[in-house]
Amino acid sequence: MFAGIVINALKGKWGFVALGFLLGWAWLAGAIRLAKPDSFWARRWYGLEKMQRARERFAEAPGSTPWGATAGETDFECKTCGAHVKGYAAAAEHMESQHPERDLVDLHEVMVPSK
Ligand SMILES: [Zn+2]
């Protein structure tokens, strides 16, 4: 890709150079599309929904969940009402529907993993 850009630059084809950079950035954006949930990138830029997706994605690797659980799907117990929910998505949904007054920033603060 960069060789192509250089060649186009040498040939004065600046339109292609610009396009090359744009495509390069698009590719780069795709590569970092879903950052690890604990990464600076995720903490800085991800909202709750995307953070949940990142957690689910990276939770598939054994031992990589925030609690060290091995399964991708974790059951939770709601700290507020004690309800049992299955999985990250359901836990987030429970908070949104049952406890909308809670400003849900981090699921760990309102849910405890259960078996
Ligand atoms: Zn609850």
Q: Residue 109 Cα, ligand 1 centroid: separation in angstroms?
A: 12
Length of the chain in residues, anyone? 115
The per-residue pLDDT for range 74-98, each reduced to its tens digit, is 789 999 999 999 888 888 889 889 9
Q: Residue 114 Cα, ligand 1 centroid: separation in angstroms?
A: 14
Q: Residue 93 Cα, ligand 1 centroid: separation in angstroms?
A: 10
Kindly state the DSSP code that residue 109 receives in the 8-state scheme. Answer: G
Q: Residue 25 Cα, ligand 1 centroid: separation in angstroms?
A: 42
Q: Residue 15 Cα, ligand 1 centroid: separation in angstroms?
A: 56
Q: What is the pLDDT along the chain (115 residues), one digit of tens a residue?
A: 667 666 656 666 666 667 666 666 655 554 545 666 667 766 777 777 777 777 777 665 544 445 444 445 678 999 999 999 988 888 888 988 999 888 767 788 888 888 6
Environment class of residue 98 by beta-carbon count within 10 Å: exposed (0-12), middle (13-18) or buried (19+)? middle
Given this model, what pLDDT does residue 32 score?
47
Contacts for 29 with CB less than 8 Å, ≥ 6 apart: none
Given this model, what pLDDT does residue 54 score?
76
Q: Residue 41 Cα, ligand 1 centroid: separation in angstroms?
A: 29
Given this model, what pLDDT does residue 63 score?
44
The phi and psi torsions of 13 (rounded to 5 degrees) equal -90, 75
Tokens of 33: 């599309």
Given this model, what pLDDT does residue 83 score?
94
Whether the full predicted model's pTM is greater than 0.75, yes or no, is: no
Given this model, what pLDDT does residue 35 score?
66
* Region for 30 from its dihedrals, namely left if φ exceeds 0, alpha if ψ lies in -120 to 50, beta otherwise: alpha
Q: Residue 9 Cα, ligand 1 centroid: separation in angstroms?
A: 60
Q: Residue 55 Cα, ligand 1 centroid: separation in angstroms?
A: 20
Residue spans per domain, the chain: 2-57, 75-113
Contacts of 78-82 with C-beta under 8 Å, sequence gap 24+, read 78/110, 78/111, 79/109, 79/110, 79/111, 79/112, 80/110
